[in-house]
Structure 1
Amino acid sequence: MNGHSIAAKSDVPLPLVQIAALGGLLVVIDAAGPALHHTYGSAAFVALMAVHAACAAWVTRLALYHESIAALAIVLCVALMTRGLLLATPPYLSTDVWRYVWDGRVQGAGINPYLYVPAAPELAHLRDTAIFPNINRADYAPTIYPPSAQWIFYLVTRFADGMRAMKVAMVAFDVATIAALVAILHRLGRPLLLVAAYAWHPLPIWEIAGNGHVDAAMLAFLMWSLWLALAGRTQVAGALATLAALVKPTALLALPVYWRPWDWRLVLIVGGLATLMYVPFLPAGWGVLGFGPGYLREEGLLSGTGLWLPQLFAPAQPLPTWLVVALYGAGALLLAGIALQAGFRRDRSPEASIGSMLLLVLVFLDILAPNYPWYFLVLVAFLPLSPAVSPWILPTFAFAFYDVIGPADPTWISLRITKVTLYLLTTIAIVLDIRSGRLPGLTGRGAKSP
C-alpha cells in the first residue's frame, strides 16, 4: 500500500469493529485501573496492563490488512480519551511531577535550581502546602534535570504554578510524539494505523498523562529529529536530538545514527548548543550535574548492585570494584562498537537508521538496567517503526517494577525477580531479533521493515 494516502484494504467491516471494541476496552481499563490496582494488588494490575498492551499490538496486526480514515480516527480518539482520563487522576505511582513544578517555581524566583535542595533555608519563602510536601528527596537531593527540562519547567510554571498544568504540558508533548510518528510512517509509506503501538500502549498513557513524566518532551524532540533526519536534514535533526538529550540523556544515542563520517559540523552544532543551554546555570559550577552522582550511588550503579546480571548469582551484594569496572568496560565497548557501526554504515536507508538507533537504545538500557518504568518510554516510540520483538518486553511489563502498593501487597513480585526476568528475556530477544534481521548486527546488515 502507498502510505501517502489512506485507503481501505478490505470491504469487510470486521477489522473496524474490532478496533472500536478494543478501544472501548482500553477506555474501561484506564478508567478503572487505579481502583483495580488498589483493590486487587500489583499482580492483577500488571496483568491488566499487559492486556492493554496486547490490544495495541493487535491493532498493529490489523494495520497490515485494513486501514481507513475511520480506523485511524478511532485510534486517535481513544488515545486522547485515555490520556484525558489519566490526566484527571492525581499521580500515585510517582511524585516526580511535583519536583518539576518546584524547579520551575525556583527559577521563577530568579534562583538557580542547581544551587539548593528544596528543604534549604534559602528557599523557605517558596514553600507551600500543595507542592513542597510531595517532593521526593527534598532534604538531600538537588535537582537532577538538565537544562532543556529546566527551561520547560520554567515556561510551564509561568502559565500556571501547579501539578495539573505540568501534566497538561507533558500530554501536549505526548501528542506531539504521536504526530511525529504519524509523519514518519507517512514518509516511510507504511500504514498510519501502526501508530496505535505507541498511542494505545499503556506506558505513555500512565507515565505521561498519569504521572506527568518529562520524558514526554524528550520523546517529542527525538521523534521529530528522526523525521528530520529521514528527510535528509541531519544537522537540524542533531540539534533537536541535543535538546532531547538535555531533557533525558538517552537521546544522545541518536547522534551516531545522524552523523556521517568526518562531518564535524554536526559535532560543532551539538557541542555549541549544549554549551549555550548550560550557560545560564554555570554559576552553580559543578552543581549543574545536580543529583546525578548521588542518583548513581542510590540506584546501585556504582556498587554494581543495580546491574541485573550479577543478581543471578549474588543478589544485593556489592561487587568488587574491579568487576564493576570490567562489566561497565565491556558494556561501553559493546555500545561503542554499535555506535561506530551506526556512524560508518553504508546502508543509509530509513530501516537501517531506525534499526541502528533502536539497537543502541536497547543495549544501553540493558547495560544500565533502570528500575523505573518511564525509562522504557523511549522503546515504545519505536514500536510503530520496527518489527523487532525485544522493545515490547520491558515497556509491557514495566509496571511490575513498582512497589507503590507492595511489598506489603502479597501479590507484589520482588524487584530482583522482576529485574532479572525482564532483562534476561530482553537480552535473549535482542539476540533473536539480530539473528532474524529485525535488528541490525555489528556486521552492518540492515533491519527489516515492519
Structure 2
Amino acid sequence: MSPLARLTGIAAALIVLTSVTPFAFRTLGDNAYIALTTVAALFTIVATRLAERAPLDRALWLIFLVALLLRGYVLLFDPLLSSDIYRYIWDGRVQAAGINPYRYFPADPALASLRDAAIFPHINRVGTAATIYPPVAQFFFLIVTRFGESVTAMRLAMLACEAVIVVLIMLFLRRMEQPVTRVVAYLWHPLPIWEIANGGHVDALMVALMLSGLWVALSGKALRGAALIALSALVKPYVAPVLAGIWRPWDLKMPPVVVAIAVLCYLPYLSVGSGVFGYLTKGYLTEEGINAGYELWLLALWRLVFGEHHGDVTVYMVLATLILLCSALAVAFRSDRSIETSLGSINVLLLLTLLLLSPNYPWYFLLVTPFVALCGSPPSWVVSIAALMLSEQLDWDFYIPRIVTKSVLFGGLLLAWALAAWTRGRSKTANVGLLQ
C-alpha cells in the first residue's frame, strides 16, 4: 500500500474519532474524551511520517482538506472543555460600552445593562473575578466583538490566528529545507483542533504573534521581532522566555523596546491602578494552587518525599526563576544562530517553562504544539499529547488525581529528554570510534 493510501486511511480514522468525541464526552465523560483524542494524536505521529513519503501536492491537498473538515465539524458544538470564550466576549462588550474591563466583576450591578441570556450566564467566576487577561488580549476581544458578540465570531477570529500559525510553520519548514507536509503534525493534532476550533482559546493569538515575531527576528530584524513577541507575552506571559532566543548578548536596545511596549499597552487601562493585573494577583494564583505550591509538580513530588515546609514555595519559585534565567542566558549566548538551532533552543525553553510552572489546563500547551512540526522532537510530542490528560471537567466522571496526570505529562517529558541525551551520547561515541 502506498504512503498516500495509508495517509488517507489515517485521515478516515481521525474523522471517525473526532466525530464520536463530543458524544462520548457527554455520555461517558472526560476519560472517554482523553482516550479518543490520545489515539488521534498517536495517529497524527504516524501521519507525519507517512506524509513525508507521499507525493507532495496530493498529500498537501489531503492534509488541508481533512484539517478543514475536522475544524468545521467541531465548530458545530458548543465549547466542550472551557467557558473562557464567554469571558472574552463579555470583556469586549464591556470595553465597547466605555468601561475598563479590569474595574468590575461581571455580576457587579454597574454592568447590569450589559447582561443577556446568551453570554452572561456562561461566564466563569462571574461574582468573584474581574478579568485576568492582559491588554493585548483585551484589544483583540474589543476588535472581534465589534464584528459580532457571539461564540462563532470569536472562534472564527481564533481560527484566523491559526491560519497565520499554519502559514508561518510552512514558511519555516521551507526555509529549513524540510518537507512542508510536516505541517500535518500541527493541522491534525487534536489539541489545537479542540482547544482552538472548539474552545476558541486566545492562546491562538499568542502563538500567532510569537511565531510572527520569530519569523521577523530570525530574518534579521530583531527589534521588530521582539516587539511582536512582547505583544504575544501581553496575551499570555508564558511566551516571555522566547525573547531570549532572539536576543543578541549586550544588545541594549531590545529590553527598553519590550518595556515600552508593555507600558503603552497597559496605559489605556491604568485608571484602575494595580487592578490592571486583574484576577491574576487577587485570586488566580491561589485558586490554581500556585501560591500554596500543591499544583507545582516538582514541588508536589518533593513534598511527597520530604513533607511540606514553611517557605518552600518561595524557595521553589526562586530556584525556578534562576533555572529559567540561566537557561535563557545559555540560549542567548549560543554560538550556533541557525534557524534549526534557534527554534530547537526556544522549544526547550518553552518546555522548561511549562515544566517549572506546570499549568493545570491543556490549552496552555498550545504554546509548544507548532514545534511538533518545526522540530519534530519526542519531548514536544510527549508534552502536547499528554496535555490532553488535563481535560478534567466533569465532577461525576472517574477522577484521575492531577498529581498522576502531571506525573505522566512531565515525567514523560523528563524521560524523553533523558532518552534524547542518551541517543546523542551514543551517536558521539560511535562517531569517535569511526574516527579512530
TM-score bracket, normalised by the shorter chain, equals: over 0.9
Select which of 79, 85, 95 maps to 1:91.
79
- Alignment correspondent of 2:110: 122
Q: Does 1:53 align with 2:55?
A: no
Query: What secondary structure does 1:243 align onto?
Result: helix
Residue by residue over 1:48-105, the C-alpha shift from the partner in whole angstroms, topping out at 9 and shown as x without a partner, is: 1111111211122124433411101111111111111111210121000000000000
Q: Give distance in 2, aligned partners of 1:278 and 1:29.
A: 43
RMSD: 1.8
Task: Please give the residue correspondences for 1:264-303 in structure 2 after superposition, counting only pairs within 5 Å.
Answer: 264-293=252-281, 294-303=283-292
Output aligned runs, 1:332-343, within 5 Å. Answer: 332-343=321-332
CA deviation after TM superposition for structure 1 residue 333, in Å = 1.5
Distance, in Å, in 2 between the alignment partners of 1:437 and 1:217 is 35
Q: Which residue of 1 aligns with 2:405?
A: 418
- Within 1, Cα distance between the matches of 2:167 and 2:35? 29
Displacement, 1:110? 0.4
**SS of 1:423's equivalent?**
helix
Deviation at 1:38, TM superposition (A): 2.4
Following TM superposition, by how much is the alpha carbon of 1:314 offset from its aligned partner in structure 2, in angstroms?
4.5
Map 1:44-193 onto structure 2 (within 5 A): 44-193=32-181
CA distance in 2, matches of 1:140, 1:362: 32
Structure 1 residues 313 and 327: CA distance shift in structure 2, 3 A:
closer
| Aligned partners of 1:257 and 1:342 also within 8 Å | yes
Structure 1 residue 244 corresponds to structure 2 residue 232: yes
Q: Under a length normalisation based on structure 2, what TM-score does the superposition of the two structures give?
A: 0.93
**Distance in 1 separating the partners of 2:175 and 2:258:** 26
Q: What's the TM-score once normalised by structure 1's chain length? A: 0.90
**Does 109-118 or 225-234 show the bigger shift?**
225-234
For residue 435 of structure 1, report the CA deviation from its aligned partner: 4.6
Q: Which residue of 2 aligns with 1:383?
A: 372
Amino acid at match of 2:152: R
* Structure 1 runs not aligned, ≥5 long: 1-12, 439-450
Secondary structure of 1:397's counterpart equals helix
Amino acid at match of 2:151: M
- Residue number in structure 1 paired with 2:431: none
Cα distance in structure 1, aligned partners of 2:244 and 2:406: 29
1:442 aligned residue: none
Residues 26-46 of structure 1, C-alpha deviations (whole Å, 9 max, x = no match): 222222211022233333322
SS, match of residue 130 in structure 1: coil
Is 1:428 the counterpart of 2:415? The answer is: yes
1:81-134 CA deviation, whole Å, 9 max, x = no partner? 111111121012100000000000000000011111111111111111111110
Aligned partners of 1:178 and 1:40: how far apart in 2? 33
Amino acid at match of 2:345: S
CA contact (8 A) 1:373 1:398 kept: yes
Displacement of 1:262 after TM fit? 1.2
Written as runs of structure 1 = structure 2, the 5 A alignment for 1:22-33 is 22-33=10-21
Q: Contact 1:305–1:311 at 8 Å: present in 2 too?
A: yes
**How far is the alpha carbon of 1:388 from its aligned partner?**
1.9
CA distance in 2, matches of 1:285, 1:318: 39
Q: Percent identity?
A: 42
1:126-149 Cα deviation digits (max 9, x unpaired) = 111111110000101110101110
Count, aligned residues:
423
CA positional deviation for 1:318: 9.3
1:393-421 Cα offsets, whole Å, 9 max, x none, are 23213232222234x223x4222211222
**Partner AA of 1:382 in structure 2:** F
1:304-343 correspondence to structure 2 within 5 Å: 304-312=293-301, 314=303, 319-343=308-332
Name whichever of 134-143 and 57-66 sits farther off. Answer: 57-66
The answer as to whether partners of 1:305 and 1:318 remain within 8 angstroms in 2 is: no
Instruction: Tell me, in whole angstroms, the C-alpha distance in 1 between the residues paired with 2:121 and 2:355.
Output: 34
1:423 to 1:265, Cα distance in 2 relative to 1, 3 A: same
Give the direction of change, closer, same or farther, for the CA distance of 1:183–1:247 in structure 2 (3 Å limit). Answer: same
Q: Tell me the SS of whatever aligns to 1:56.
A: helix
**Paired amino acid for 1:22:** I
Separation in structure 2 between the aligned mates of residue 435 and residue 237 of structure 1, nearest angstrom: 35
Give how far 1:313 is off. 5.9
Instruction: Answer yes or no: is the 8 Å Cα contact 1:366–1:427 preserved in 2.
Output: no
Most deviating of 322-331 and 94-103? 322-331
One-letter amino acid of the counterpart of residue 65, structure 2: C
* Residue 400 of structure 1: aligned partner: 389
Q: Distance in 2 between matches of 1:194 and 1:211?
A: 24
The alignment partner of 1:140 has SS state of coil
The answer to whether the Cα contact below 8 Å between 2:29 and 2:394 also exists between their aligned partners in 1 is: yes
Match of 2:191 in 1: 203
1:255 and 1:234 map into 2 onto residues whose CA distance is 10
